[in-house]
Amino acid sequence: MLALVGSGEYLPGMDIVDEELLRRLPEPARVVCLPTAAGTEGDAIINSWSNKGVAHFRRLGAEVEALPVIDRATAQDQTFAERIASANFVYLSGGKPTYLYQSLVETPVWSAIVSVHQRGGIVAGCSAGAMIMGEKIMGLPKMSVGFALVPRSLIVPHFDEFPGILSRITHLLTGTELTMFGVDGYTALVTDGQQFDVLGTGGVTVWHHRQHQRYTPGLIPDRIARQWA
C-alpha cells in the first residue's frame, strides 16, 4: 500500500489520515521515519523532522523510530536497511525530491523500503517523499525519473497551495502517457496498485488523457481507477 501525501506530515491535521493507515495494517505498527529528503538542510532540520515523526506516531500509539538516512552513504548502511525491512510502515518526509531519489536509488535502504511495500506494509511519502513514487518527478524545464511505484504517473503535492498550477504543468504531460495526481495538503491518495482512495480533508485532482477531475475523500470507483492502474 502506498500513501501519497500532499503536505502536513506529522502535524495534528494529519491524524485522521495516519490513524486510518495504522488501522489498515494487519498487525501492530512498526513505523520507521526517514528524513532523507532534507539531508542537505543541516543537522537541526534533519533532527527536527526525525523528532516530529517519532512524537507524532508515538502519540498515535505506534512503535516508531527515526533513522538518520540522509545521503547515499547512509542509504548503503546494511544495519539501517535491516531495521527498515523489519518495519511494516515507512514514512518519507519532505525536502528535495531529486536529492531524495538520487540518495536512495540502487541502495540497500531502497531495497528494504520496497520489501516493506511488497510484503503488504505501508510506504508513505509526503511532498518530496510522494513525488519520487511516480514514474517521473516534476521539474522545470523538464521532468526527471522516479521509482515508478505508481506506474505512468506524475505526483504533484501541495496542489491546493498554488492556484493555477494545473495550467502551468499540463505542457509537461502533453504527448506522454502519464497520469498526474495533484494531492492537496492534509490529504493522501492511497493505492494498493488496483484501488485508489482519498483520505484527509482535501482532495486529489487527476489529469488523465487531457481531462481533469477532482476527487474528495472516499473510494474512487473501480471503473475510473482501472484507467490509472
Q: From CA 205, how far away is CA 191, in angstroms rounded?
A: 15
- Mean pLDDT for 76-105 is 98
Q: What is the pLDDT of residues 181-229, one digit of tens each?
A: 999 999 999 999 889 999 999 999 999 887 889 999 999 988 888 877 6
Strands (E), the chain: 2-5, 30-34, 63-66, 89-92, 122-126, 134-137, 144-145, 150-156, 179-183, 187-191, 196-200, 204-208, 211-215, 218-219
Rounded CA gap, 186 and 178, in Å? 24
The pTM of this model reads: 0.95
Contact yes or no for 172/184 (Cβ under 8 A): no
| Preceding peptide of 141 cis, ω within 30° | yes
Architecture of the 2-225 domain: 3-Layer(aba) Sandwich (3.40)
Q: What is the DSSP letter of 220?
A: P
Residues 159-170: tens digit of each pLDDT: 999 878 887 787
